[in-house]
Amino acid sequence: MINRSTMLIGAAFALMATSTLALADGLPLVTTKPVKVSAEAARGPIFDGKNVVKDNGPDGPTRDVLLAKSKDRKVEAGLYDAGPSEQDIDSYPEDEFMYFIEGGVKLTSADGTVLEVKAGEGAAIPKGWKGHWSTQGYKKYYVTYASGKAGK
């Protein structure tokens, strides 16, 4: 039986073209073969690898593991680990689908609508969304799409 995480990662790769990007150590970021992330690795060990991007910005302390990026650099898929944060969002920068592995988030839209998403649930946020983001921390799979110009 295929679990939800496997289906999400499979869907992300179905959207993506083969990339020839390389990591700093010269290893390919995306190959022509499927990439597997076990449930155990996604809950922690994958965030300790040498290719993890760490930051301490508006999302609190974060760790980002990029799994794939499309050739045009508009679509990305990966895992993200964030600490507690409260922030107002003036305009969400891209379309994003996220599936929470641990923790969750409370999204309060500018019109007052509240959406709470917790572990085992997914959510989609459209580019341009305005509101308030509140979390005690989480781990998630994500797929983003940066429309318009070539992605980052």
pLDDT digits (tens, 9 = 90+) for 66-114: 998 888 889 999 999 999 999 999 999 999 999 999 999 999 999 999 9
At 22 the three-state DSSP class reads: strand
Q: Does the residue 151 lie in any domain?
A: no
Q: Does the residue 125 lie in any domain?
A: yes
Range of the domain at 58: 4-145
The span from the first CA to the last CA of the chain, in angstroms, equals 36
Q: Does the residue 99 lie in any domain?
A: yes
Q: Does the residue 152 lie in any domain?
A: no
The CATH number of whichever domain residue 59 belongs to comes to 2.60.120.10
Which strand (E) or helix (H) includes residue 137?
A: strand 131-145
Handedness of CA 3, 147, 102, 80 (dihedral sign): positive
Supply 143's token pair: 């797929």
Q: Does the residue 150 lie in any domain?
A: no
Q: Does the residue 81 lie in any domain?
A: yes
Record the pTM: 0.78
- What pLDDT shows up at residue 32? 62
**65 pLDDT band (50/70/90 cuts)?**
very high
Q: Does the residue 136 lie in any domain?
A: yes
Give mean pLDDT, residues 37-59. Answer: 90
- What pLDDT shows up at residue 148? 75
Q: Which residues contact 109 (CB under 8 A, 6 or more apart)?
A: 115, 129, 130, 131
**Lowest-confidence segment of 6-15, 45-54, 76-85 by average pLDDT:** 6-15
Say if residue 25's pLDDT is above 50. no
Count up the domains in the chain and report the number: 1
Q: Does the residue 46 lie in any domain?
A: yes
